[in-house]
């Protein structure tokens, strides 16, 4: 074999020898074969491990023919001047360390990805283009009273005007009205103190809007070689960009040559967005906040004449009834949840395409 041609010897009845051009093959290993949906990480084979099959020379005899018969090659040679390439276009092979030649399709979000065709059967990486920052996480935080203060408030009242004490008998304080006549009263409350608060957190991570998904397909490993050392490139399949490219993982400058138009595509995004912790304070109500409303009339009729707070001394106060009026417990948010982290594209691939 010389200068990309395969020498085939064909016997003739006349004893003369005829020579036909042959085809050599080349192969590239893709650094990564990915699934339809990219992930936030990328793993790829080192492009330097790609191999190229060495061309081989074979000699096969043909059946004897008459001298009037015309010899033909095994490849269709229409639409091209290269007898070895057939109907395809003779293009430059990919540079060392690059993969291709390849074609790619740009698919808008929600549209189906085209399949690789028999002319371009080797699927390359499925990538993304047009990263848009979706913004930070949306964070919410609230605190709720899950256990109210257990104070067991009690009321002591007496009708004895002599002395400065309110008696020894106590009545439990409730929101319901209690009828009791007194001229001196006192309220006490003992228990577990403040209530229990529990935080409730929520976070929403906005999805990442990409402009397009990129489907990559390469020429077959046994692609024919042109007589000038190029590669036979079939026409681009329907739905693919009208161009040929070579690609390599990482961000690289395009080598000098026909593939000089650079584009960067991505395998996914690194997303660390989230929310910080939310914390709650103690309940705003303690046993000392217990209050009792005093009424001048039985059955708590009319407006309360005064209010007594738990923990005070026995005092002069006249009434015919009372009812508990503890302040409503509340749980303050002491540390609000805030957005943290960021999102950025990752796993870049350089595509160098024909101008």
Model-level pTM greater than 0.85?
A: no
Contact 151, 311 (CB under 8 A): no
Say how far apart CA 54 and CA 4 lie, in whole Å.
Answer: 12
Contact 88, 81 (CB under 8 A): no
Contact 107, 213 (CB under 8 A): yes
Q: Strand pairing partners for 259?
A: 354
Q: What does each C-alpha distance from 249 to 32, 50, 116, 128, 354 come to in angstroms?
A: 9, 13, 20, 13, 18
Per-residue pLDDT at 87: 63
Q: What are phi and psi of 325, to 5 degrees?
A: -145, 65
Per-residue pLDDT at 152: 82
Contact 47, 249 (CB under 8 A): yes
Per-residue pLDDT at 115: 94
Per-residue pLDDT at 104: 97
Per-residue pLDDT at 44: 35
Q: What is the pLDDT along the chain (355 residues), one digit of tens a residue?
A: 333 323 232 233 333 333 223 333 333 444 444 333 333 333 333 333 333 333 333 333 333 333 332 222 222 333 444 545 666 688 899 999 999 999 999 999 989 999 999 999 999 999 999 999 999 999 999 998 887 777 788 899 999 888 788 988 889 888 899 999 999 999 988 776 667 888 899 999 999 999 999 999 999 877 777 877 788 899 999 999 999 999 999 999 999 999 999 999 999 999 999 999 999 987 766 677 788 999 999 999 999 999 998 888 899 999 999 998 665 677 889 999 999 999 999 999 999 999 7
Contact 350, 254 (CB under 8 A): yes
H-run or E-run covering 319:
strand 315-324
Q: What are phi and psi of 289, to 5 degrees?
A: -85, -5
Q: Strand pairing partners for 274?
A: 340
Determine how many CB atoms are found less than 10 A away from the CB of residue 164.
9
Per-residue pLDDT at 108: 94
Q: Strand pairing partners for 157?
A: 185
Per-residue pLDDT at 85: 65
Per-residue pLDDT at 53: 35
Per-residue pLDDT at 179: 95
Per-residue pLDDT at 285: 67
């Amino acid at each position: 074999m010389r200068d990309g041609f395969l020498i085939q010897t064909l016997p003739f009845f006349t004893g003369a020898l005829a020579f036909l051009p042959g085809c050599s093959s080349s192969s590239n290993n893709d650094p990564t074969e990915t699934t339809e949906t990219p992930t936030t990480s990328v793993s790829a084979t080192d492009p330097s491990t790609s191999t190229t099959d060495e061309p081989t020379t074979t000699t096969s005899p043909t059946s004897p023919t008459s001298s009037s018969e015309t010899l033909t090659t095994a490849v269709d040679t229409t639409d091209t001047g290269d007898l070895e390439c057939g109907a395809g276009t003779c293009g430059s092979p990919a540079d060392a360390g690059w993969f291709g030649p390849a074609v790619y399709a740009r698919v808008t979000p929600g549209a189906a990805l085209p399949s690789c065709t028999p002319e371009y059967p080797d699927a390359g990486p499925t990538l993304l283009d047009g990263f848009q920052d979706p913004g930070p996480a949306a964070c919410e935080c609230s605190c709720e009273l899950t256990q109210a203060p257990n104070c067991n408030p009690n009321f002591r009242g007496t009708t004895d005007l002599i002395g400065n004490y309110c008696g020894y008998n106590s009545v439990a304080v409730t929101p319901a009205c209690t009828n009791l006549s007194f001229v001196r009263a006192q309220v006490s409350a003992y228990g577990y103190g403040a209530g229990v608060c529990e935080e409730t957190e929520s976070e929403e991570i906005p999805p990442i809007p990409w402009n397009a998904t990129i489907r990559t397909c390469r020429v077959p490993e046994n692609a024919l070689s042109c007589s000038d050392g190029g590669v036979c490139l079939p026409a681009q399949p329907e739905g693919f960009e009208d161009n040929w490219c070579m690609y390599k993982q990482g961000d690289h400058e395009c080598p000098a040559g026909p593939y000089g138009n650079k584009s960067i595509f991505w395998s996914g995004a690194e997303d660390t967005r989230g929310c910080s912790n939310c914390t709650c304070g103690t309940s705003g109500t303690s046993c000392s906040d217990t209050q009792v409303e005093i009424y001048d009339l039985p059955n708590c009729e009319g407006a309360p004449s005064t209010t007594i707070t738990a923990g005070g001394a026995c005092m002069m106060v006249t009434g015919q009834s009372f009812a508990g009026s503890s302040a409503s417990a509340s749980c303050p948010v002491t540390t609000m949840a805030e957005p943290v982290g960021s999102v950025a594209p990752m796993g870049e691939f350089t595509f160098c395409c024909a101008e």
